[in-house]
Structures are given as structure tokens and as C-alpha cells.
Amino acid sequence: MRLVANTLDMVAAARGRLMLWAPVFLGLGIGTYFALPAEPGAGVFAAGLAGLLGLVLLAVRGPEPGQVPAMALAWIVFGILLAGWRAHSVAAPVLGFRYYGPVEGRIVNIDRSFSDQIRLTLDRVVLKRLSPARTPSRVRVALHGEQGYIDPVPGLRVILTAHLSPPEGPVEPGGFDFQRLAWFDRLGAVGYTRTPVLALAAPSGGLSLLAFRARMAASRAMSSRMAGQPGAFAASLMTGDRSRVEAETTDALRAANLSHLISISGLHMGLLTSFVFAMTRYGLALIPPLALRINSKKVAAIVALHAAALYLILAGANIATQRAFIMMAVMLVAVLLDRRAISMRSVAIAALICLLLQPESLVEPGFQMSFSATVALIAVFEHWTKVQRRIPKPVRPVAMLLTSSLAAGLATAPVAAAHFNRIAEYGLLANLLAVPLMGTVVMPAGVIAAMSAPFGLAGPALWVMERGTAAILAIAHWVAGLEGALLPVPAPPASVLPLIAIGGLLALITRAAWLRGAGVSVLAGALALWSLAERPALLISGDGSLVGLMTPAGRALSKPRGAGFVAQSWLEDDGDLGDQPAAYARPGFSGRKGALQAALLGRPVFHFTGKAAASAARSVCKDGALVILSSNWPEPDPPDGCRIIDARALALSGALAIYAGKAGFTIVAARDIAGRRLWNTPARRKRPVKTADARGN
């Protein structure tokens, strides 16, 4: 009891720094909501609200030693309630079947698909013979075939004929949950069209349409003055328009760990506002009558804040750009209030705002990488101010750049590896060479070009910017071409990233040595747990069309093309750099197309596709065979002597993973891991799949 009392007293004494932990506790609550195996009911939320009120009362009026723990628990409970409220508030109809027919809607977003096709996101959707109450609020359609009949812009109302289906669940148990992402985007159906998209009504959309037109006009103006990929890269930096950036360029940037340069994020917002801030402040200093009468620092902060807002509007207010703007706005407001702009407290406030506005962003890689890098950089900066005097002045800029790049790289590497299954081995080298060019050449030249463009004087600045982007791309291609540039990493268990986050925060933002030591221990434990991660011996796609068998040479796939996103995701999660055709060529499956055979723990595995799949399955249904069908088994019950996994069962279970052990094999269903949640409940309409026990029975 004395130990507990001493701990509470210590926590109460350190309450001044506990503001830094408010977003952490809020994030714990949000993460708890998303980890729940089933959607809480109204009674649970009512009890949570009552508990929250009690905890707040205890934190305000209760005994002093218990106030801080009560407030921490209050943040956690509030996080659960906030995430639940957000999930219910964005609820919208989800298409419950496959649809083919006319689609009418208004364009609200334009991007590119996995296969590099233009995609349109539509709202105000109309589907044939579907009531408004059952029609999705938004649909997303990839454009195939002959197009070019319209110039797609936000606000344009279009009509097309498309194949639509509900958003798919994870491609494997525990994998990325696209259904959850689609739910919070109010995206009720996805699909494609092979017929032309036609305009139905003139664009409408107010400010968003004007911003898009300004963005595309700026992009076209830059492209006309800067040819090739350097121009496309420059346009993407300043306007967010990535339509002309080729896949080869994107791959090179990713392999060199420079992909953060092409998507507008905190780095771009920070470089732009820093340059505008410095230019305004030092420009005012050159005018003594003004410099002596006004606070040039605060004026510079106001100008930089307006520049950041204009950049937000011009580049498109996507989630990453909004988050970057919030972080910069908090720091600039701190300057206006005579507070430290670069501090852990500022980052905590920015994180709180982001989580309050969009709690679902907690589970997205962009949020995790942005704040992990920022926290690491500020922690390093706090120590740097103490040791920089010991470093010779000529060496300080290089040492600071090396230290900051190393800190940001180490902080974001586990997050990037967990989400993208890649570590760029020479990423530090690439960033040391490229980031200074971004900060000293490319972004300043871009700002000067934007300011001088109305007077027709942007040419020299654009020339400088083109030279800078060309150099960055040259660095990316050179680093990507080095042997071993990419190190593949298998997907970690679900608990690894939360443990890394907790360990990193303990190590970086606590002052007590024992807490920092505990943080390092948690980090080491998480990495050890990651190293022991087991990949499934067999994977089955959600529609039964693709099967992947783990072999000594890597995962062998059942077909060389088709279901490309699923295939690539499986290989990446395995930590495999191969592609689908190479994985298909690996030994593992035998037999003819549509009737493949393999073995798992000495037990025969058959994969049948096509119209004759069910009839072919009858002849092999013996010796405990595992039979996978891409169609429905025509009878109510499977025959004795084998186990049938058909399309009907997969429609309910989602993708399946089979783990092989000494005692047999275990089947894990994607929807068992994802739970029964708002975003996947509509798919649960058919009979369940029977999962095997530890002996494969």
C-alpha cells in the first residue's frame, strides 16, 4: 500500500507534464474501441458516459493523489465514446450486392487506383431501381476502356455504366481493413467501368470547385515551364496534382525512402511556413521604421499562417494536409501567444485536435508517422541545444542534419515497415542528400515562383525549382538502384505497433530514468515479438479465386494474374519482394488450370475454379482432403471424407488463413479477427464457415 501511495504522490507531483499524455490516453481509448470484437450497444455507451462524468468529478473534486489517475481514465473512456460517436455519425448505406447498371453522381474526388487507372469518387448517387434509403452516399469507380469524353473536375455531374460491389474486407485475417476505411469515408460501393463517362450537368461545388480549378491551372502552368518528371514532381509538391507522376518515379522514391517528399505533409507545410516566416521577419527588419514599431515576429507568424491556409486550400484539404496544417497552426499560434513554438506541448495540442476531429486517423499510417517523427525531432532538439556548443561551428549544420534525419528515420521506420513491409536500407543517405535540397532550393523557389507569377516573373524561380527536383529524382533513382536498397519485412502481430508507440513515448517524453529504461525494454520486447511473427501456411482469398501456399522458396500462388491487389498484399505481408507471376512459377501447386493440387502437413489440398468446380470436387473428397471452391457447393452439407470451403462460406468468413502446427492446422477467418462491427455487419447474411480446431478436424 505504501508503494501505491508513493507512486500516486509522484504522479501528482509531475502533473505539470501530464498534459503531454492527454492525447496518449485519448488514443488508448480510441484504439480500444477499434480493437473491440463487437460493436458496443447503447447500454454500454450510456454506462461509459456515466463513468466519464464520475471520473471527471473525481479528477476535479476528489483526493489530490487520485486526481491524475482519474483524469487519465477519463481521457481513455472519452476516447472510446468519441470513436463510437464518430463511427455512428458517419453511418451511410452500404451496397449489399453486386450491381451492374447505370450510375449517376457528382464528382467529389479524382485519384488513381492500384492499377494506375483514373478513379472518380461520386456523391449524390443515383442507381437504377434502388431507393435513396439504400443507395450509397458515395461510390468510387475506376475508369477503364476508352475515355476522354469529359474533363473530370469536382462538381461535374456525370453518368456511366459500372460494375459496383460492397467494399471488401481484409485480404487476410488481421490485414488492412478497407471496409473500415470506406465506412469513415462514407464510401458505400467501389467498382469500375469499361464504357465512356459522360457529362450530365455543369460543375457545381463553390469553393471546392474554385480551389480545384486553381490547383489544376497552377499545375498546368508549372508543367508547361518544366518538362518531364522533374516538372511533374514539382507540380505535385506545390499543388498536390500527381496525375503526371509516373509509376517508375513513385517506385524509386519509395525505394529510397523519399516517398514522403511527393505527398504533401508536415515536411512541406513546415518548409513553406518556415520560409515565409523568415522572409517576412527579416524583410521587416530591413525597414527600421517598421521594425522599431511592430512585433515583426508576430507579424511573420500571421503571414505564415495565412500562407499555410492558402497552401491547404490549393493543395486540397485531404487528411494528411489537414493534419500538417493543424500542426503548423498550433505552433504559429504559440508564437502569437509568446509561447515556445517547438515543444512537446504544442505537439500534444495538435495531436488532441486531430484526434478530436478525426479519431479514426489514429489507426492510419500517416498520423502515426507524422507524430512519431515530430516527437522524435523535438526530443532530439531539446538535447541538441545542450550539446551543440561542444561541436565546432562549421560542422554544426551537418551534424544537426545528420542527427535529425537519423532521429526521424528511426522513429518512422517501424511504422513504415509495419504498414508497407519495406525498409529502405539507404533511406538515411537519400534523406541527407535530398531533404536539404527541398528546404534550401525547391520550396523557397516554389514560394518565390508563386509570388512572382501574377507579374509574369516566375520563370527564373521555376528554372531553379526544376534543377532542384531533377537533382532529388536523380538521388532517388541512384539510391533505389543500389544493391539491397529494399529490405523486405514480414507483417507484425497486431500488438507490436501499440507496444512500440508506448515504449517510444516512455523513452522520449518522460524524465525519470527508470521510466525511460522501461520504455526501451518495451521497445525491445516489441521488436522481439515481431521477429517471432508466424506467417500462415495457406491463405485463401475472400472469393476463393486465389490460394497461396507457403513453401521453402516463398509463397506459391495459384494463378499468375487476376486478384492482383490480394496477391501483392500477401507477398508484401510475407516480406517477399517477388511479384505475382514469379510467385505462381514457384513449386507448390500441380495440376491443370482450374484444378490444382498441393499438400499441407501431408493432407491433400485441392483448389477448383470455374463452372465444373463442384463436380470435380466430388471425385477427390476423401482422405481428409481440404477442398477450396470459387463457387458454391450445390448441396446443404459437404460429403464425408473431406472439408469443403466454398464461395458461400467465404462470403461470410472473409479471407482465411491456415496455420500449420505439430498437432495439425488451425483456420482463422478474417471476420473473426475484424469482429462484428458497423462497417462489416451488413456482409454477415449467410451461413457461417466451420473453423477447424487445433487438429484440423
Give, for 146, the enclosing helix (H) or strand (E). none
Give the residue from 208, 194, 199, 192 showing the smallest Cα distance to 113: 192
Assess whether 110 and 185 both reside in one domain.
Answer: yes
Boundary residue ending a domain (89, 124, 152): 89
The per-residue b/e assignment along 566-595, b for 16 or more CB within 10 angstroms, e otherwise, is: bbbbbbbbbbbebebeebbebebbeeeebb
In a domain, 450, yes or no: yes
- Tell me whether residue 24 is in a domain: yes
Q: Is residue 628 part of a domain?
A: yes
Structural contact between residues 434 and 476, judged by C-beta atoms closer than 8 angstroms: yes
The answer on 504 and 470 residing in a single domain is no
* Residue after which a domain boundary falls, among 89, 112, 146: 89
53's CB contacts (< 8 A; 6+ apart) are none
Terminal C-alpha separation, the chain: 50
Same domain, 47 and 172: no
The count of residues in the chain is 697
Q: Can you tell me the distance from the alpha carbon of 608 to that of 611, in angstroms, rounded to the nearest whole number?
A: 9
pLDDT given for residue 684 in this prediction: 39
Helix (H, G, I), strand (E, B) or coil at 262: coil
Task: Tell me how far apart the alpha carbons of residues 60 and 49 are, in angstroms, rounded to a whole number.
Answer: 17
Q: Do 527 and 542 fall within a single domain? A: no
Which residues of the chain fall short of a pLDDT of 50? 3-4, 8, 13, 683-697
432 Cβ neighbours under 8 A, 6+ residues apart? 401, 402, 405
d(CA 409, CA 377): 10
Query: Which three three-digit cell numbers place residue 528?
Result: 522481439
CA angle, corner 189, sides to 175 and 247, nearest 5?
Answer: 60
Report how far apart, in Å, the C-alpha atoms of 461 and of each of 197, 466, 655 are: 39, 9, 52
Nearest CA-CA partner of 560 in 541, 589, 582: 582
Calpha distance 187→177 (Å, rounded): 13
Residues 631, 678 share a domain = yes
What pLDDT, on a 0 to 100 scale, did the predictor assign at position 432?
86
Find the domain containing 506 and state its range.
Answer: 496-531
Task: Clarify whether residues 579 and 544 are in a common domain.
Answer: yes
Give the chain's domain count.
5
Instruction: Say what the pLDDT of residue 94 is.
Output: 94
pLDDT at 571: 95
Domain stop point among 429, 455, 488: 488
For the beta carbon of residue 673, count every other beta carbon within 10 angstroms. 19
Residue 522 has φ and ψ, to the nearest 5°, of -65, -40
Kindly give the pairing relationship between strand 625-629 and strand 642-645.
parallel
Residues 694 and 232: their CA atoms lie apart, in Å, by 54
> Could you give the CA distance from residue 292 to residue 306 in angstroms, rounded to a whole number?
23
Distance separating alpha carbons of residues 606 and 144, to the nearest angstrom: 34
The Cα-based distances of 111 to 97, 140, 152, 167, 170 in angstroms read 25, 10, 11, 17, 22
Residues 112 and 64 in one domain: no
Query: Are 264 and 284 found together in one domain?
Result: yes
Q: Are strands 656-661 and 664-669 parallel, antiparallel or unpaired?
A: antiparallel
Residue 555 inside a domain? The answer is yes
**Which of the 8 DSSP states describes residue 569?**
H
Which H helix or E strand runs over 677? Answer: none
Residues 183 and 234 in one domain: no
Specify if 461 maps to a domain.
Answer: yes
Pair (398, 543) in one structural domain: no
How much is the pTM?
0.87
Q: pLDDT digit string (tens) for 481-530?
A: 998 888 899 999 999 999 999 999 999 888 888 888 999 999 999 999 99
Q: Is residue 691 part of a domain?
A: no
Q: In which element (H, E) is residue 610 found?
A: none
**Residue 125: CATH number of its domain:** 2.40.50
Q: Are residues 221 and 291 in the same domain?
A: yes
Is 347 a domain residue? no
Output Rg (C-alpha) for the chain, integer angstroms.
Answer: 28
Is 421 in the same domain as 437? yes
Q: Residue 105: inside a domain, yes or no?
A: yes
**CB within 8 Å of 150: residues ≥ 6 apart:** 156, 158, 197, 198, 199
Task: Give me the residue label for grid cell 478513379.
Answer: 119
**Residue 696: what pLDDT?**
37
Give the burial string for 510-535 (b: 16+ CB within 10 Å, else e).
beeeeeeebbeebbeebeeebeeeeb
